[in-house]
Structure 1
Amino acid sequence: MVVSDFKNLHRYDSLNPLFKKAFDWIQNTNLISLSLGKHEIQGSDLFVNVQEYETKSIAESFFEAHRSYIDIQFLIEGSENIGWADTASLSELEPYNPESDFHKLSGKAKETVTIGGKIACILFPEDAHMPCLKASEGKKAKVRKICMKIKL
């Protein structure tokens, strides 16, 4: 997992051939004006999902992991916590679904980070993550998030 301010994202260009295009898109797009739903940048290889939801407690949450895509997650309104653990340290709740590239897992977070403002979180296949968690004083809050998907 990498946590970075937007201004430093280009330091990671060499980690994946699509990262430069993804980071340029982040820097050059009016993020607030994006409608909810899926927006393709380069077909199924690079796209974003714009979401709105209310943050939740750890008890209401679970870990997820992906094998075919890297996630870059950041908020354009509000803030949230994301729990992190290595996938090898967790238990399977549901078998991996290759069609949705989704693996539901359970266990305890090793770290928790807060994203919001101009902070992005880059999550690789070994980075199980528990997104959508309450960040401020344990209160639920409405957030607007972009989850960018980058094909491996």
Structure 2
Amino acid sequence: MIIDTLENASKYFSIHPCFKEAFEFIKNHNNFEKTEDGTVGDFENVKAFVATFQGVSRETALSKFECHDKNIDIQYCIKGKETFGWKSRQKCVLPNGDYNSEKDVRFFNDAPDFFFELAKDQFAIFFPEDVHVPMIGAGEIKKLVLKIKI
């Protein structure tokens, strides 16, 4: 997992061949705050969508303690403050259902090792080994999620 600000995004271009394109997409977009929810980009190996939602409690969010097998998530905060929980996939031992290959998601009932918060112009990169729980917060949260095929 990586947590950083958009101004430092170029430091991560070498990690994956699509990271440069993904972060340039974020930097070159006119105004995500005014963008309606839904898919805003679908280019080779990268799908981007905007989501606006009301933050939920840690307890409510924990039902979605998730990871992905085929994608890397870049989650970029547009508006509000979003808290995430995190734990290494190697330490998760309580599966919550079967892997959904159509949605590329598997859930766990384990508890996160720690929580962190993203504010405007900050992002987190979640790799397949990163089990994470999003959407924790108070009030409206708007974010951009980029799904990058491995």
Taking the aligned partners of 1:89 and 1:56, their CA distance within structure 2 comes to 25
Q: Describe the SS at the equivalent of 2:118.
A: strand
Q: How does 1:32-71 map to 2 (within 5 A)?
A: 32-43=33-44, 45-62=45-62, 63-71=65-73
Q: TM-score, normalised by structure 2?
A: 0.92
1:106 aligns with 2:104: no
Taking the aligned partners of 1:32 and 1:112, their CA distance within structure 2 comes to 25
1:122 aligns with 2:120: no
Taking the aligned partners of 1:36 and 1:126, their CA distance within structure 2 comes to 28
Q: Describe the SS at the equivalent of 2:102.
A: coil
Q: How does 1:9-88 map to 2 (within 5 A)?
A: 9-30=9-30, 31-43=32-44, 45-62=45-62, 63-88=65-90
The gaps in structure 2 that reach 5 residues or longer are: none
Which string of whole-angstrom CA distances, capped at 9 and with x for unpartnered residues, describes residues 33-66 of structure 1? 32211122415x1111211111111111221100
Code of the aligned partner of 2:120:
G
Taking the aligned partners of 1:46 and 1:39, their CA distance within structure 2 comes to 11
Equivalent in the alignment of 2:95: 92
Q: Describe the SS at the equivalent of 1:97.
A: coil
Among 126, 140, 146, the residue aligned to 1:148 = 146
Q: TM-score, normalised by structure 1?
A: 0.91
The gaps in structure 1 that reach 5 residues or longer are: 135-139
Taking the aligned partners of 1:2 and 1:93, their CA distance within structure 2 comes to 25
Compare the two structures and name the one with the higher strand fraction.
1
Taking the aligned partners of 1:73 and 1:104, their CA distance within structure 2 comes to 18
Q: Describe the SS at the equivalent of 1:12.
A: helix
Moved segments of 4+, more than 4 Å:
none
Alignment RMSD? 1.2
Q: Describe the SS at the equivalent of 1:108.
A: coil
Query: Following TM superposition, by how much is the alpha carbon of 1:112 offset from its aligned partner in structure 2, in angstroms?
Result: 1.3
Which string of whole-angstrom CA distances, capped at 9 and with x for unpartnered residues, describes residues 73-113 of structure 1? 02211011100001122210011111110111121111211
Q: Describe the SS at the equivalent of 1:71.
A: strand
